[in-house]
Amino acid sequence: MALLEIKNLKVFFEARNQSGKTSELRAVDGVSFELEKGEILGLVGESGCGKTTIGNAIVGMVPVTEGSIRFEGQEITALRGKSVKLFRQKVQMIFQDPFGSLNPRMSIGAGISEVLKVHKLVSGKNERSARVAELLKAVGLEAEYAARYPHEFSGGQRQRLGIARALALKPSLILADEPVSALDVSVQVQILNLLKDLQKEMDLSYLFIAHDLAVVRYMCDRILVMYLGKIVESAAATELFGKPAHPYTEALLSAVPDVDKGLKSRTQGSKRIVLKGDVPSATERIPGCPFHPRCHRVQAICSKEVPPVKDCSKGHFSVCHFAGKF
């Protein structure tokens, strides 16, 4: 049994334009996938594709319109009261903004202690202080930092504090939403290595949400590619980067800078695939394949028929009429 099972998940919102007319915004439109225990699963795509909404739906930050989310075999969309509290002990989130996710009016120690106090995992002030010191040490910070406030730390240190808070309840699954995108490149590597080390030490599973393919390739065992609220390709990281089977994935990979190439060849863009136009609004209803207006491999059938899910190889799926044929 998978640790996390999502089936036909839909998250729709009501959108209103300047004239007051309302329409349905399909942020997540029929997404299904599984995450195994101990796995690091990547979720990638352009801004607005719905990847963060999936994470928010899992932890209950946005309502689910339709579909099923099961954690450890239990349906969580119907949880209420104490059951929600127990679930949130097992699933925690690391946010993109390391400063905005910390309370500026609380010391670091007080912020983490509050989590422990609410969930009653330790008893007494001394035990809470000891647990805070243990968590700070686990993320590479000194115990005396507990008395400081968020504004006294750098961006990388703040993200370490966010990780420490996420680990406070001893979760089995962590949703990491763009955890390094707001950090300097040198600091990104430190945080990514920390997350990898913690995963091994604490037997954690990650749903790693990002748009940086280089980061995802370094971190993830398996990758899901999203476009306009749907998953268009799913494969092991090595398979996806070695042989993409969807034109959208192919275009994303072509945009990743290749340091092995000379500056001249990169600026000429010999293999760079430039997509046409902008990402359509999630309120639009596009016939056939939703990617066909921007696709560099589009054929007549693409604008008429919805592509099926094709099994390209073991564990490699693509939603394209011509998957694996290019």
pLDDT digits (tens, 9 = 90+) for 243-283: 999 999 999 998 877 655 544 444 444 568 888 888 888 88
Q: Which residue has the higher pLDDT, 182 or 129?
A: 129
Whether residues 75 and 116 fall in one domain: no
Whether residues 78 and 189 fall in one domain: yes
Question: Residue 148's Cα: distance from chain center in Å?
Answer: 30
Whether residues 208 and 243 fall in one domain: yes
pLDDT at 97: 85
Whether residues 31 and 41 fall in one domain: yes
Secondary structure (DSSP) of 82-100? HHHHHHHHHEEEE-S-TTT
pLDDT at 141: 96
Number of separate domains in the chain: 2
pLDDT at 151: 94
Whether residues 62 and 183 fall in one domain: yes
* Domain finish residue from 90, 124, 148: 148
Q: What is the DSSP letter of 250?
A: H
325 within domain boundaries: no
Whether residues 173 and 308 fall in one domain: yes
Q: Find, among 257, 286, 204, 270, the residue nearest to 38 by Cα.
A: 204
Cα distances (Å, whole numbers) of residue 296 to 107, 136, 284 = 52, 49, 20
Tell me how many helices (H) and strands (E) the chain has: 10, 12
273 within domain boundaries: yes
Q: Give me the percent of the chain exceeding a pLDDT of 90.
A: 73
What average pLDDT score do residues 29-40 get?
97
Whether residues 139 and 283 fall in one domain: no
Inform me whether the pLDDT recorded for 293 exceeds 50: yes
Beta strand extents in the chain (DSSP E only): 4-16, 22-35, 40-44, 66-71, 74-75, 91-94, 173-177, 205-210, 222-227, 230-236, 309-313, 316-319
- Asked if residue 104 lies in contact with residue 149, where contact means CB atoms within 8 angstroms, the answer is yes
pLDDT at 260: 53
Whether residues 185 and 77 fall in one domain: yes
Q: Give me the percent of the chain exceeding a pLDDT of 70.
A: 96
pLDDT digits (tens, 9 = 90+) for 167-217: 999 999 999 999 998 888 889 999 999 999 999 999 999 999 998 898 999
pLDDT at 265: 46
pLDDT at 100: 84
What average pLDDT score do residues 45-49 get?
90
Whether residues 63 and 119 fall in one domain: no
- Asked if residue 37 lies in contact with residue 228, where contact means CB atoms within 8 angstroms, the answer is no
* Residue 229, domain CATH: 3.40.50.300
> Which stretch of DSSP H or E encloses residue 247?
helix 247-254
Q: Which residue has the higher pLDDT, 272 or 68?
A: 68
- Asked if residue 222 lies in contact with residue 317, where contact means CB atoms within 8 angstroms, the answer is no
Inform me whether the pLDDT recorded for 224 exceeds 80: yes
324 within domain boundaries: no
pLDDT digits (tens, 9 = 90+) for 54-66: 999 999 999 999 9
Residue 308, CA atoms < 13 Å, CB-side half-sphere: 3
Whether residues 209 and 314 fall in one domain: yes
326 within domain boundaries: no
Confidence at 98, pLDDT banded by 50, 70, 90: confident
- Residues of the domain holding 11: 4-104+149-319
Whether residues 115 and 13 fall in one domain: no
Whether residues 56 and 186 fall in one domain: yes
* Domain finish residue from 85, 118, 148: 148
pLDDT digits (tens, 9 = 90+) for 303-317: 999 999 999 988 999
pLDDT at 258: 63
CB contact set of 14 (below 8 Å; sequence gap of 6+):
22, 23, 24, 25
219 within domain boundaries: yes
pLDDT at 264: 46
Q: What is the mean pLDDT of the chain?
A: 91
226 within domain boundaries: yes
Inform me whether the pLDDT recorded for 26 exceeds 50: yes
